[in-house]
Structure 1
Amino acid sequence: MVERDPWLGRRPLHLRLRFLQGESTGSYVTRLAARNLRPVEQLLASVGVGPMPVEPQYTEMYVSRYARERLANLSGCSVAELSLRLVSLRDEFLMPDGSADDWEWPWDARAGFIVQACSLCAASRGTRAPAWLILPDPWHVCLRHGRWTDNSRSLQRPYIDLHDHPGVVRAQQCLNRLRKRLGYAVARWVEADALSVLTCVGYLEDPSRATEQEWAVLAARVGEQRARPVAQFDMVARLAWDMAWLEERRRAGRLSTAESRAWLRRVGRQRGFVFREPLTHWISGHRPLLHARQAGGSGTGGPSQTEVAGQGTAPLASLQNLTCLPWVRMPNEMDRLFL
């Protein structure tokens, strides 16, 4: 075990750094070093001992408990605040006690996706260099500036301008309203199930189901893989809203069996007959709760598969890990260095 200098990292750096919401630890450390006109290697030498740093767009940085304390001192905030701001510094992501190194940069992030931050949001926090987020899903919608960023790592086309895709903005606003109504965790489970249903019916495999001309233009500009989730995002939100109507009433004990069947017929007509089978499968795991007391139907069933699967949800659990349905595929998983 290398002996560490107990005086290193005791005093905060002269210049503080404003946090970016959802920022990765690697991005924050890189920006903190640049803010204080230091090479990142020199800053890390005040944190502990470990391997050479890696560019933050490639993977996430994970630290030991010792290094987290030193990094908090350098940044001028408490360990609690730093862990709140940087999700990868929370206890569940810390390196095991007794590790020889104080940080590591694994080939793949242990959880979540590295997504480029909106450059205008980063500029408002005092940085002009690219900044990177660690998020549950491989995309991010900035409603403030109308931009879609993803984990492509492209510096030539770092974002997709959503002024040309107003449906994506409306879809994100819809999902935000859903999260306020149901709570973030429950809304995420419903979104995950909606994505799984779309996988089952083949919607995610056929981008032409979106506006064909819009899809073709976007795919020609940024590539099919990056364009695919943008073209399909509106349907994910609409289906999640449909499913949330039933789930909200079920959880409140206000859903009868008759209403459940009526919902299935109505959504089947609106979205297409092909949706009926996977939605029937979904409803089978979301039966009315025992305490429901509506006229025309007695409540039966216990906790849904969604509730069971969602217990103890990790902060960076992706949609594909949250769904209670068997059909799983994300529209975009560009997690290789060359993309």
Structure 2
Amino acid sequence: MQEARAQPVGLHPVAGESTGSFVRRLALVNDLSVASVLREAGGGRVGELDPRVQEVFLGDEAIERLAIMTWRTPAQLRRNLPTLAEGAGRGRHRAVRVEPWPSQWAVLEPCTACLARCTDLVAPVWWASGECWQVCVRHGRWLRDASAGGPAQVSLAGLPEVVRAHRRWLRLRQQVGPYARALLADGLQVAFCWWQGRLMGAEGVWACREAVLGTGRQLWSVPLVVYPEAVRVAEAMAVFERQRCWGREFDNGARGWVSRHWITFVGERLGMHGLMEQGGYRALREWTLQHRASAPVARRLALPAPPPDYLSQPLPLLDPHRVLPERGRLEDASCLDWRLGQPVSVVD
């Protein structure tokens, strides 16, 4: 009598986990090689797999086979493994692909406090993230891609304002829609300019945060250090853009005064009015030049009045952000072309 084939041990995917990380854990919990698991999914000869530098992309049929092996449904896998959508519909000959990580993805180490609840972690878990950093608001941790140097996780125990800022950012994204990603990218670029030029609190609130982190002025920590102010700027940009979308001038200002009124508004929200006058206004003015209303004043004044709730409605993509990458480096989603760590030239 032929011996019954052993049933595979199922496995829970971690939300946001990379497919390569999940496949490697599945292989280990079943005492198999990664190559064996991928052959069962319909793949050919596969060598070693390092989820930090490689990802597994699966076609539809391979996803169904992987679901059977893990005692899950294809829908459950797609919901938890973000890169599965990248391999769907590639055809049977490309059912399983092991490739270097595409540049628009970042590999992050999930919050260790969150993973403490998992009981089947036979190997390290790696996230497939569309951003180079994330914030765990539950445990107060900054999670980042450590491939460029610096720690993979930073405790925010002494920086509760960063966690509060991330909650505000999540609300802004819910209210504005996908366009909020461009506004955060622009807000961060403005803050990077200020940090690099030692303006807008670089010797005050930002220096205090760097002291809490014990980092000093390090490039890897800048997004964390300036994040609360960058979110404030992004919120102010959303106000500006909602009014521009409906053909309105900010604060009903006269033509030619819009930038000045809005920049004053931003300085008041940041509590940095004096430093704004000392030079902080330049980066914001550069942004307003990129986001000018293109229609003549007469045509805009002839538009119907916006609905009463227009300030809380989602925004469409507006010039100059007609094409907006869904993932990847935030600076690539910005209309401001300076880069952190490189000389910044802003028009005087």
Please state which band the TM-score falls in when normalised by the shorter chain: 0.7 to 0.9
Q: Is the 8 A contact 2:168 2:231 kept in 1?
A: yes
- Are 1:70 and 2:65 an aligned pair? yes
The amino acid that maps onto 1:265 is T
Counterpart for residue 297 of structure 1:
none
**Does 2:237 match 1:236?**
no
Distance 1:101 1:31 in 2: 20
Q: Deviation per CA, 1:186-229, whole angstroms, max 9, x where unpaired?
A: 21111011122234x352576656532441452449x9354333
Alignment of 1:1-339 (within 5 A): 13-17=8-12, 19-47=13-41, 48-90=43-85, 92-93=86-87, 97=91, 102-106=96-100, 108-128=101-121, 129-152=123-146, 158-183=152-177, 185-199=178-192, 201-204=193-196, 210-216=205-211, 218-220=213-215, 224-251=218-245, 255-256=249-250, 258=253, 260-261=258-259, 262-268=261-267, 270=273, 272-273=276-277, 274-287=279-292, 290=300, 291=303, 293=305, 304-310=318-324, 313-314=325-326, 316-329=327-340
Contact 2:19 2:57 in 1 (8 A): yes
Per the alignment, residue 313 of structure 2 pairs with: none
Q: CA deviation at 1:42?
A: 2.9
Relative distance call for 1:123 and 1:205 in structure 2 (3 A) is: farther
Structure 1 unpaired stretches of 5+? 1-10, 295-301, 332-339
- Secondary structure at the counterpart of residue 135 of structure 2: strand
Amino acid across the alignment from 2:266? V
Counterpart Cα distance in 1 of 2:219 and 2:336: 24
The number of residue pairs the alignment matches comes to 304
Assess if the C-alpha contact under 8 Å between 1:111 and 1:136 holds in 2: yes
- The Cα RMSD (Å) is 3.6
Kindly indicate whether the alpha-carbon contact (under 8 Å) linking 1:40 and 1:53 is maintained by their aligned counterparts in 2.
yes
Counterpart amino acid of residue 115 in structure 2: A
2:156–2:163 CA contact under 8 A, matched in 1 = yes
Secondary structure at the aligned position of 2:115 is classed as helix
SS of 1:308 mapped into structure 2: coil
Q: Cα–Cα, structure 1 residues 308 and 67, in superposed 2: closer, same or farther, change >3 Å?
A: same
Q: Structure 2 vs 1, CA of residues 293 and 69 (structure 1 numbering), >3 Å: closer, same or farther?
A: same
Output the CA distance in 2 between the equivalents of 1:40 and 1:305: 47
From the superposition, tell whether residues 265 and 100 of structure 1 become closer, same or farther in structure 2 (CA, over 3 Å): closer
SS at structure 2 position matched to 1:309 = coil
- TM normalised by structure 2 equals 0.73
- Check the 8 A contact 2:58/2:84 in 1, yes or no: yes
- TM-score, normalised via structure 1 length: 0.74
Among the aligned pairs, what percent are the same residue?
26
Shift of 1:305: 1.8
The residue aligned with 2:310 is: none
SS of alignment partner, residue 266 of structure 2: helix
1:23 to partner: Cα distance = 1.7
Quote the offset at 1:118 in angstroms.
0.7
